[in-house]
Amino acid sequence: MAFSVTLTFMKTLKEVMYEALEQGVALGHFNISDSNQLNGIAMAAQELNVPVVIGVSEGESKFLGLDKMVVMVRATGKEYGIDIFTNADHTHSVEGCKLAIDAGMDSVIFDGSKLSVEENISSAKEVVDYANKSGREVIVEGEVGYIGTSSKVLDEIPDDVSSVLPSPEDVKKFIDETGASAVAPAVGNLHGMLKGRTNPALNIELIKAMRNILGNETGMVLHGGSGLADEDFTNAIKAGINVVHINTEIRIAYRKGLEAKLAENLDEVAPYRYLNGGRDALAEVVKGRLKLFNNL
């Protein structure tokens, strides 16, 4: 079943995430560093008539600006007539999450995956409590298990990526004790793309067990989507994943598109005449992923 949303801009991110789970599809989450990338993602979402989430990591938000990003995404939703949401991706401090909430982000990810279980839970709970006092609905997502941090092309799996995956009980404990709306568990995934080969397959049975113990009210988010086989995405969504993050793939497409466009005319200096090369290349990758995630 295709995922379609009435474009009234009245639904919250939580409602759209729940609808995705009910329909057996997943929201696509894509990171940006500039408005050109945002336009490419919006073009793809508009063509397919599906909602989309726009994320910025701490590095990306520092480059772009949180306040600017929120306003820009909202304006883009109005311009393209799409349901589009904002997310502060992989925020490693409670204070950083609070700044993102104050800026108007629809969701924030507290990444305490390198902390002890106790520290991760207590810090995530502090973020949830702050979000609950904001006067609006903010999705707070936490991470359980460590999958690395590199959104780039990798020669090998990083040594610091944990080989021990969290159990369904670990994930349930995190949600119960923090009150978080969503969780990003380690299920065999990793950030970044392995050079010349697909990333390791996901543990689909573990995803199923996690979804069964969590029920349908909690979002389950797959990070490190770049480099996975299409079958892994499809099976993970069927098992209960309802949001999928993509970054490295679109970074590569964007750069290659820019390089190809610049190569057509090495003397061109007007940015709007070559930036569209990156935008269009990125849009094609996003469109392909959105088709897959939404069974189109």
pTM over 0.85: yes
Q: In which region does residue 23 sit, left (phi positive, over 0), alpha (psi from -120 to 50) or beta (all else)?
A: alpha
Domain positions in the chain: 13-293
77-114 per-position pLDDT tens digit: 999 999 999 999 999 999 999 999 999 999 999 999 88
Cα–Cα distance, 87 to 104 (Å, whole number): 10
Tokens of 65: 């600006």
Active-site hit among 83, 89, 106, 111: 89
Cα–Cα distance, 139 to 97 (Å, whole number): 11
b/e map 223-261, b = 16+ CB within 10 Å:
bbbbbbeeebbebbbebbbbbbbbbbbbbbbbeebbeeb
211-259 per-position pLDDT tens digit: 999 999 999 999 987 778 899 999 999 999 999 999 999 999 999 999 9
Active site residue 89: yes
Please report, for residues 92, 154, 212, 226, 243, the alpha-carbon distance to residue 203 in angstroms, rounded to integers and kept in the order given: 26, 21, 15, 16, 16
Nearest to 53 by CA among 18, 3, 89: 89
CATH 3.20.20.140 correct for 13-293: no
